[in-house]
């Protein structure tokens, strides 16, 4: 039976399959799915940041899902650099081996779907992008979000916010461990990651870990060298406008890569399809280069008390927004504007605050761990698919504290359909303002 690809995504995402049967060169191997990955709604592989253990080897990368393996060629994935990060090809029918550039076969396995799981039953269940507790939702017995009392709403949001913060600080702790306790490299890696602004977060982090912070600091007095290192290491120099300056950066990177024995990231690591011009990775890296050159020590400055006071958001913005001084003419190396206030907000939320909280856990005074959290109450709520979903369901999303809490709620409760564990699902619908 041929199933729709969206249905196969559902089965994979929630682990509803009976088993995975390795085929081809992978036949007989043991496959353990540690994390199925995040569903990709943009161009590129179906799931990214998946963790798969094949025999005793852990693989981290992308997963592509098809009905038949031959669709890999029908969709021209073999010529698309974005698919070079695929670590597992999941199919219902293995009708053609997939050859990689190295000559080896792409690891492939069969997705075995239980007989009792009919698509018509599954597809009518709550969608990962739907809220069953909103008016008109599939679980009509639950209290509509618009009718929650302010007290109940704020209590649960505050609890979720602290869960979100613990999750973020744990990620910083893990990054600190990967950076061997180097706080400067940790901050730099965290900052570069979130300069991906969602779409390229994973690729940006790979860039940061492949290009040590200490190398950049040796050249921070020369903007062109920082630009050459970042763009060259990311294999993005070819996307700059043709001309003398691009050729200059290419020569600089060739020299510096040889000097420091750098290995560039594979072409296609960064996603560019259906990306707004302002969020193209090469433009983000040009902004980052200017920021590095204009701040002597970002990590140390981010720990300054004045940069994380609720009454002084201006200090945080100034830290993250390099001036236009030394800005190149448009067309020479592409438009490179300063970060927008919304972009700065995201960096404060995802970089400054988690880093500061983690540092305080190590070196701060007793009871100070959550002091920077008050800053979230002064920031505007993030605008994304998830926050708009809750807003359309009648739930006010006013501050960054709210949006961060709701992102945690959606990821750990709504998308996993754990409605019975959410206090809002048991609130009587009569509880109004």
Rounded percentage of the chain residues whose pLDDT exceeds 90: 46
Q: Tell me if 270 is assigned to some domain.
A: yes
Query: 211 and 285: one domain?
Result: yes
Whole-angstrom Cα distance, residue 277 to residue 282?
A: 10
Query: 99 and 229: one domain?
Result: no
Query: 191 and 93: one domain?
Result: no
* pLDDT of 404 higher than 80: yes
Domain that holds residue 89: 5-122
Q: Tell me if 328 is assigned to some domain.
A: yes
Query: 190 and 301: one domain?
Result: yes
Q: When comparing pLDDT for 120 and 14, which is higher? A: 14
Domain end point (choices 330, 350, 369): 369
Residue 93's alpha-carbon distances to 12, 20, 23, 62, 342, in angstroms, are 15, 12, 10, 20, 45
Query: 226 and 342: one domain?
Result: yes
Query: 53 and 194: one domain?
Result: no
Cβ proximity of 395 and 148 under 8 Å:
yes
Whole-angstrom Cα distance, residue 316 to residue 320?
A: 7
Cβ proximity of 393 and 146 under 8 Å:
yes
Cβ proximity of 295 and 318 under 8 Å:
no
Q: Tell me if 176 is assigned to some domain.
A: no
* pLDDT of 382 higher than 90: yes
Domain end point (choices 73, 90, 122): 122
What's the mean per-residue pLDDT of the chain?
Answer: 82
- Range of weakest confidence among 106-110, 121-125, 286-290, 417-421: 121-125
Query: 364 and 229: one domain?
Result: yes
Whole-angstrom Cα distance, residue 192 to residue 206?
A: 9
Whole-angstrom Cα distance, residue 155 to residue 127?
A: 26
How many independent structural domains does the chain possess?
2
The pLDDT confidence band at residue 63, using thresholds 50, 70 and 90, is: very high
Query: 112 and 222: one domain?
Result: no
Q: Tell me if 346 is assigned to some domain.
A: yes
Whole-angstrom Cα distance, residue 116 to residue 127?
A: 19
Q: Tell me if 386 is assigned to some domain.
A: no
Between strands 57-68 and 86-93, the pairing is parallel
Domain end point (choices 369, 404, 420): 369
Q: Tell me if 196 is assigned to some domain.
A: yes
Query: 112 and 190: one domain?
Result: no
Query: 92 and 228: one domain?
Result: no
What confidence tens digit (pLDDT) does each residue in 211-250 have? 999 999 999 899 999 999 999 999 999 999 999 999 999 9
Whole-angstrom Cα distance, residue 340 to residue 254?
A: 32
Query: 246 and 116: one domain?
Result: no
Q: Which tokens go with 203?
A: 């690729």
Q: Tell me if 282 is assigned to some domain.
A: yes
Residue 52 main-chain phi, psi, to 5 deg: -125, 130
Tell me the HSE value of 255 on the side-chain side, using a 13 A CA sphere: 10
Q: Which tokens go with 357?
A: 């909280």
Question: Quick one: how many helices (H) and strands (E) in the chain?
Answer: 16, 7
- As a dihedral over the C-alpha atoms of residue 16, residue 21, residue 24, residue 26, rounded to 10 degrees, the angle is 100
- DSSP 3-state assignment of 297? coil
pLDDT for position 172: 94
Residue 186 main-chain phi, psi, to 5 deg: -65, -50
Query: 221 and 313: one domain?
Result: yes
């Amino acid at each position: 039976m041929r199933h729709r690809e969206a249905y196969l995504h559902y089965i994979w995402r929630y682990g509803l399959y009976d088993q995975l049967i390795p085929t081809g060169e992978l036949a007989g191997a043991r496959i353990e799915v540690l994390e199925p990955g995040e569903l990709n709604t943009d161009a590129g592989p179906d799931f990214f940041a998946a963790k798969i253990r094949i025999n005793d080897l852990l693989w981290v990368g992308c997963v592509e899902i098809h009905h038949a393996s031959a669709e890999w060629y029908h969709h021209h994935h073999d010529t698309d650099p974005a698919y070079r990060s695929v670590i597992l090809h999941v199919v219902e029918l293995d009708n053609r081996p997939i050859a990689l550039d190295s000559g080896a076969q792409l690891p492939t396995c069969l997705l075995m779907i239980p007989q009792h799981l009919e698509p018509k039953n599954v597809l009518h269940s709550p969608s990962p992008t739907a809220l069953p507790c909103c008016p008109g939702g599939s679980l009509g017995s639950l209290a509509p979000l618009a009718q929650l009392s302010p007290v109940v709403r704020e209590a649960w949001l505050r609890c979720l916010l602290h869960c979100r913060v613990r999750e973020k600080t744990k990620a910083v702790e893990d990054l600190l461990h990967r950076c061997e306790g180097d706080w400067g490299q940790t901050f730099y890696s965290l900052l570069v990651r979130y300069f991906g602004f969602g779409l390229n977060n994973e690729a940006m982090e790979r860039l940061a870990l492949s290009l040590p912070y200490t190398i950049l600091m040796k050249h921070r007095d020369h903007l062109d060298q920082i630009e050459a290192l970042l763009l060259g290491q990311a294999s993005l120099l070819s996307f700059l406008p043709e001309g003398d300056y691009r050729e200059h950066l290419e020569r600089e990177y060739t020299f510096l890569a040889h000097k420091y024995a750098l290995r560039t990231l594979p072409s296609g690591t960064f996603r560019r399809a259906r990306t707004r011009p302002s969020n193209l990775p090469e433009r983000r890296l040009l902004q980052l280069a200017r920021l590095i050159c204009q701040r002597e020590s970002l990590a140390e400055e981010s720990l300054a008390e004045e940069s994380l006071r609720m009454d002084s958001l201006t200090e945080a913005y100034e830290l993250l927004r390099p001036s236009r001084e030394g800005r190149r003419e448009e067309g020479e190396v592409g438009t490179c504007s300063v970060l927008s206030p919304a972009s700065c907000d995201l960096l404060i939320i995802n970089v400054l605050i988690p880093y500061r909280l983690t540092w305080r856990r190590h070196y701060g005074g007793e009871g100070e761990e959550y002091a920077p959290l008050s800053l979230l109450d002064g920031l505007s709520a993030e605008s994304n698919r998830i926050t708009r979903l809750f807003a359309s369901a009648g739930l006010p999303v006013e501050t960054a504290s709210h949006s961060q809490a709701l992102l945690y709620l959606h990821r750990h409760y709504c998308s996993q359909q754990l409605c019975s564990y959410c206090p809002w699902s048991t609130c009587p619908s009569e509880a109004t303002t």
